[in-house]
Structure 1
Amino acid sequence: KVYADVFGAEACLVSPFIVSGTHAISLALFSVLKHGERVLSVTGRPYDTLLKVIDGGEMSLKADDITFDYIPLKGADFDYEKIGNALKENKYSMVYLQRSRGYDEREAISVDKMLPLTEFVRSCGFDGCIFCDNCYGEFVEKKEPTEVGVDLVAGSLIKNIGGGITPTGGYIAGKQKYIDRAEARLTSPSIAGEVGSYAFGYQYFYEGLFLAPHVVNQALKGSLLIGAVMGELGYHTVPAPFALPYDITRSVMMGDEEKLLKFIQSVQYVSPVDSFVEVAPWNMPGYEDKVVMAAGCFVDGASIELSCDAPLREPYNAFIQGGLTYEHVVIALKEILSRL
């Protein structure tokens, strides 16, 4: 109920047994969608780790004859003409959008831009589920997607909303009818949300939520500093220097593999955990290209803690995110500049 209130939603499923943002999104999709239904993604192809969820063999959505159609963004906004035509020509059960950019070279989607989208989609006669991958976006803006017409959001507790404290878990928030289905899928239809105790207690789930707005503030300040400095040095960054971010991630185009590795290895070097490790590209599960990742975090995989990663492909963008304290970001930036 506390999480539901935060999202302005009817209900929320919060569980330590949801292991990641990808898991939360996958759970939501498999819960809501039925055999033979179609999904319209209005932000293009989803993040790399979701591609096998959609079309990755006998356990994927495609195996249940559930298909995705993709409409890329038009510049920095939705392509309303193509969305309208698609909704007119086909019967869709879900409209899907991804708030953060993943590894794409684009801005994150602001909540303000979601309101006209949801209104437009409904004006086209769509009566299905409007879903948003909310990873990296919680508490960045004053409102959440569920307050502007989005029916369902999902994300990870080791990103923004966990405040760097919550050790594991994920959430799905939105309309009660969809949360009921997600609870039944997570456990079983006969049990749903009535069980699921966690032996270690829930203190850190509440404490992380309490701290999350301030921690996100620190991460955003750090992102703005990195954007300003790297932009001044001639590097292309998204968001642009001094532009207000709509999520906690920032890309910096390094241009070649050597500079990319120096950038990311610098972040690992000043990390509080495993700072002695020199990170290298590897075939990380769920990704199409080799990935290099700096993640010397107290909570494994916690991208609200200062971390940095990149697919090893042109134009060699480094994706840096998080920062529990602004001061840690300052230290990391100094190390990055010294190595470059």
Structure 2
Amino acid sequence: MFNERITAWMDNAERTIEGRTKELDRIVDRNQWKVIRAFQKHKVSDYHFSGSTGYGYNDRGREVLDLVYADVFGAEAALVRPHFVSGTHTIGTALFGVLRPGDELLMITGRPYDTLHKVIGKPGDGSGSLQDWGISYNEVPLLPDGRPDYDAIRSRLSARTKVVGIQRSRGYAWRPSFTVAQIGEMVRFVKELYPDVIVFVDNCYGEFTELQEPTEAGADLIAGSLIKNPGGGLAATGGYIAGKSKYVELASYRLTAPGIGGEVGAMLGTVRSIYQGLFLAPMLVGQAVKGSIFAAAVFEQLGFVTHPHWSDPRTDLIQAIQFTSDKHLIAFVQGIQQASAVDAHVIPEPWDMPGYEHPVIMAAGTFIQGGSLELSADAPIREPYIAYMQGGLTYSHCKLGVLTALSNMMDRGLL
């Protein structure tokens, strides 16, 4: 299927990463058992999968789903709904839920992911952004090596700071993603200075890559998307918020309305896929992480710079690969698309995507539109030319994507 050079790169990479993939299998086992224990504790049964309509009063499947998620994430409460349209919507709901005019949001992991920039907004922008509502915003850049700048955090924190924000994953940044242990250190640091500050973590791409979640390391509130890790490739839409009960409740009032919160909301036949997706998520996340490690090992052989290195600890799905030109970048992303089971015939091109500041090229041959637990890759067209690969419901598909991308680059004389 592939020429001898590509097959040799594949074989060498798999020999190199063999020990790391066995470590991942142990993480998968423990996370799988954790999810099953939560199902068993709350006596999940077939009748929990029935849908509700209208107001959705007394939807026991929805209520138990929240309890299961809370247990899995080591939280007091959770809000799991198909009504969240994206990770950005879910994060925005959490932030608007706990912040009030005059409060400050302080991001301590540098500039957040591009799609949050409009949520934060500017004072008086008229869009209903955080700053339009009189919530001030500040951020602390990371140190050159990607670590938090604790001296700067200390100087920026004040009694006005209501929420400290942490982005677990790198987003479109050439920096390490933060492990749960590192997030725990950040939580302890800010809580020692201001015990009542709310620590919020954008947990997208990180679920089930480690044995613990940020809520188990002291975070007050976390949020993520169901079309990423925890949806297990089956949830067709949605998001989750988990953490301390009082903060989850405030977020629920933002999702619906004060006095209504999470007590209503027709699930419209989505419950079974959300439960089953959560059941499958630990295994599928493990498959995707193996694929990322394989990609790093292959491209490092060829002299490309990757982040993280194949042997580095993993705390999210994302594998960043730095190329030397936009031609390499585009050929790589188009190769990932060619390996898809869905829309393999489509040729992605850079375009001005809403919410992003530069043209973006995206490979997204997925069963769920935008489902980034499925094999996908995207990149802003800007220097340095970095592709961000994530997902893969099976390790075999991840390998096929990487090898097809290599073949595409080779055919264009780029290797």
TM-score bin, normalised by smaller chain? over 0.9
1:112 counterpart (154, 171, 181): 181
Paired amino acid for 2:155: N
The runs of at least 4 consecutive aligned structure 1 residues that moved more than 6 Å come to none
Identity, in percent, stands at 49
Partner of residue 97, structure 2 = 31
Match runs of 1:1-340 below 5 Å? 1-55=67-121, 57-58=125-126, 59-74=128-143, 75-87=145-157, 89=158, 91-340=160-409
Normalising by structure 1, we get a TM-score of 0.98
Q: Which has the higher helix share?
A: 2
**8 Å CA contact retained: 2:200, 2:222:** yes
**8 Å CA contact retained: 1:33, 1:66:** yes
Paired amino acid for 1:29: L
Paired amino acid for 2:199: I
Q: Render the CA deviation track for 1:130-186: whole Å, top value 9, x for unaligned.
A: 000000000001000000110000010000001111111001100111111111111
Structure possessing the higher radius of gyration over alpha carbons: 2
**8 Å CA contact retained: 2:235, 2:270:** no
**8 Å CA contact retained: 1:264, 1:318:** yes
Distance 1:128 1:112 in 2: 19
| Displacement after TM superposition at 1:77 (Å) | 2.0
Normalising by structure 2, we get a TM-score of 0.80
Paired amino acid for 1:211: L
Unmatched 5+ stretches in structure 2: 1-66, 410-415
Q: Which moved more, 1:100-109 or 1:234-243?
A: 234-243
Distance 1:190 1:85 in 2: 38
**Number of equivalenced pairs:** 339
Paired amino acid for 2:342: V
Distance 1:215 1:313 in 2: 31
Q: Render the CA deviation track for 1:190-246: whole Å, top value 9, x for unaligned.
A: 211111012224100000000000000000100000000101110011101321221
Q: Cα RMSD (Å) of the superposition?
A: 1.0
| Displacement after TM superposition at 1:90 (Å) | 5.3
